[in-house]
């Protein structure tokens, strides 16, 4: 079976599967490594939410590229945060040797996946593998470090060194089945715990193992019965203009995401460029911060105050990013934008409740930080297809670099040509690198989602965090 077909067989019928970073590797390696050669995502198995990490052997034999490792580690990070059992569907050729300097030696490389697997098992988070094909070198350690292992007869193999390596190392001639086949590892070495006659049987055994995990996921949130939005989520795409520079009212987007299209606004008459509301998404309480323009001192202080309120009340935070940045200029600086923006960044950094980010437009400069960008470790970060992320927009970046260059050269014909070349080069760079597909290919987010899917995707993510006990806060709310 193909990797996604295995997952389809594994998850409970008629339950959702949230695939992560499906466009990882897009445009890289001449597009020869789709999805970075690995499929990861969250699904329900025997009634238990699980993280699935499935090697795609049709992509370079399931070997690990730099982005493959990054995607694998991100899936393990999510599993650790939410205490999700990890199900490894293994069909892996180990590290892709031409990429060894970006895969093998450093922290955050291939070895870190094994470290995380061991640490999660030690923390009581189940690690279970089903082996479907050849697992060589580093690929062998995925099942070897698992709590329980299933292997498919006649097809699955586990060996630290394949027949060719054995021949080169010790001059021994041996075939792959004898060296590391499923029957040998189940009956002789004990590396495997279960022998399955075919892939369907292996997946059925995996489901039986999960069913016996004795996992209980309580609900620590004050949830309410979910209600669909009164306004149709499919209308969101029509509300957002094609030109990212054209403003729109984010209240209309929120009304198509939250239950019943109902939200309670916080300080609606003050700092209006930051919209702060409490609402429910699929019955889960949320505090939403959404941009309706640049962040002024008032809106930054309002955001910090709202984050503290939600943190004290154990309400998860959702950030809808469409932000050019914090306001600049003499008036803004005299009004203390530096200290007020720092308050918001501090509040975002120190909030104990789960945080989720969706880039629904531009994400530029320090606004990315204040609105919980990737560097601030949101539980999940998704992007819409119209998203843009960079230090600044192509127009602003081009103007900044041109002004700096003009100030350092004499104006003549040669200078005009140099400035024109600089303008074209800068605009091309920032346009290309702020593209959402450029970002998702490099795993700067957890995937691009359709705007109308935002509500359901957030609902799945919120449900995972609802099982976590509340972290008690011992501090008052400081009015900003």
Name the burial class of residue 434, with classes exposed (0-12), middle (13-18) and buried (19+) by CB atoms within 10 angstroms of its CB. buried
Q: What percent of the chain has pLDDT over 90?
A: 75
Among 196-205, 396-405, 421-430, the minimum mean pLDDT is found in: 396-405
- Residue 325 confidence (pLDDT): 85
Q: What is the dihedral of CA 243, 248, 251, 253, to 10 degrees?
A: -20
Q: Where are the beta strands (DSSP E) in 160-304?
A: 194-196, 264-265, 274-281, 284-291
Q: What is each CA distance from 340 to 269, 304, 348, 373, in whole angstroms? A: 18, 9, 13, 18
The whole-number average pLDDT for the span 209-236 is: 95
User: Could you say which DSSP state residue 221 is in?
Assistant: S
* Domains of the chain with bracketed CATH: 3-212 (3.90.226.10), 233-387+448-466 (3.90.226.10)
**Residue 201: φ, ψ to 5°:** -65, -35
Q: Per-residue confidence at 410, pLDDT binned at 50, 70, 90? A: low
Average predicted confidence (pLDDT) for the chain? 93
Number of helices and strands in the chain (H, E): 19, 16
- Residue 411 confidence (pLDDT): 65
Which of 15-29, 157-171, 422-436 ranks highest by mean pLDDT? 15-29
Asked if 130 and 206 touch (Cβ cutoff 8 Å), the reply is yes
């Amino acid at each position: 079976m193909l990797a996604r077909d295995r997952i389809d067989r594994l998850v409970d019928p008629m339950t959702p599967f949230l695939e992560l970073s499906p466009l990882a590797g897009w445009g890289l390696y001449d597009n020869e490594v789709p999805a970075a050669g690995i499929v990861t995502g969250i699904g329900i198995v025997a009634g238990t939410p699980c993280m699935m990490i499935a090697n795609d052997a049709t992509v370079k034999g399931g070997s690990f590229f730099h982005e493959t490792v990054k995607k694998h580690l991100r899936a393990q990070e999510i599993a650790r945060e939410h205490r999700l059992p990890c199900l490894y569907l293994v069909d892996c050729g180990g590290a892709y040797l031409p990429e060894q300097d970006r895969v093998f030696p450093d922290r955050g490389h291939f070895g870190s996946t094994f470290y995380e697997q061991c640490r999660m098992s030690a923390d009581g988070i189940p690690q279970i593998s089903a082996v479907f094909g050849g697992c060589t070198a580093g690929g062998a350690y995925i099942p070897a470090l698992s709590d329980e292992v299933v292997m498919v007869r006649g097809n699955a193999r586990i060996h630290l060194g394949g027949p060719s390596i054995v021949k080169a190392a010790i001059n021994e001639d041996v075939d792959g089945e004898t060296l590391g086949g499923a029957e040998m590892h189940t009956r002789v070495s004990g590396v495997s715990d279960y022998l399955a006659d075919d892939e369907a049987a292996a997946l059925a055994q995996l489901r039986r193992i999960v069913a016996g995990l004795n996992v209980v996921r309580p609900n620590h949130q004050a949830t309410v019965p979910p209600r669909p939005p009164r306004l149709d989520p499919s209308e969101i795409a029509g509300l957002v203009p094609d030109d990212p520079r054209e403003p729109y009212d984010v209240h209309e987007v929120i009304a198509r995401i939250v239950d019943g299209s109902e939200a309670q606004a916080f300080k609606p008459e003050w700092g209006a460029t930051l919209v702060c509301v409490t609402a429910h998404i699929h019955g889960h309480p949320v505090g939403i911060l959404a941009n309706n323009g640049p962040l002024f001192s008032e809106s930054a202080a309002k955001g910090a105050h709202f984050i503290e309120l939600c943190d004290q009340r154990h309400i998860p935070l959702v950030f809808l990013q469409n932000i050019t940045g914090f306001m600049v200029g003499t008036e803004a600086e005299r009004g203390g934008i530096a200290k007020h923006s720092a308050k918001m960044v501090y509040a975002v950094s120190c909030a104990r409740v789960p945080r989720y980010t969706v880039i629904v437009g531009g994400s530029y400069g320090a606004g990315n930080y204040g609105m919980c960008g990737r560097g601030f470790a949101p539980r999940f970060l998704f992007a819409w297809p119209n998203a843009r992320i960079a230090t600044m927009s192509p127009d602003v970046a081009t103007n900044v670099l041109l002004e700096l260059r003009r100030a350092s050269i004499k104006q003549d014909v040669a200078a005009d040509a140099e400035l024109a070349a600089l303008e074209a080069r800068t605009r091309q760079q920032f346009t290309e690198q702020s593209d959402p597909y450029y970002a998702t290919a490099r795993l700067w987010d957890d995937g691009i989602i359709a705007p109308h899917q935002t509500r359901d995707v957030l609902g799945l993510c919120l449900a995972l965090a609802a099982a976590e006990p509340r972290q008690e806060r011992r501090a008052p709310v400081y009015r900003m």
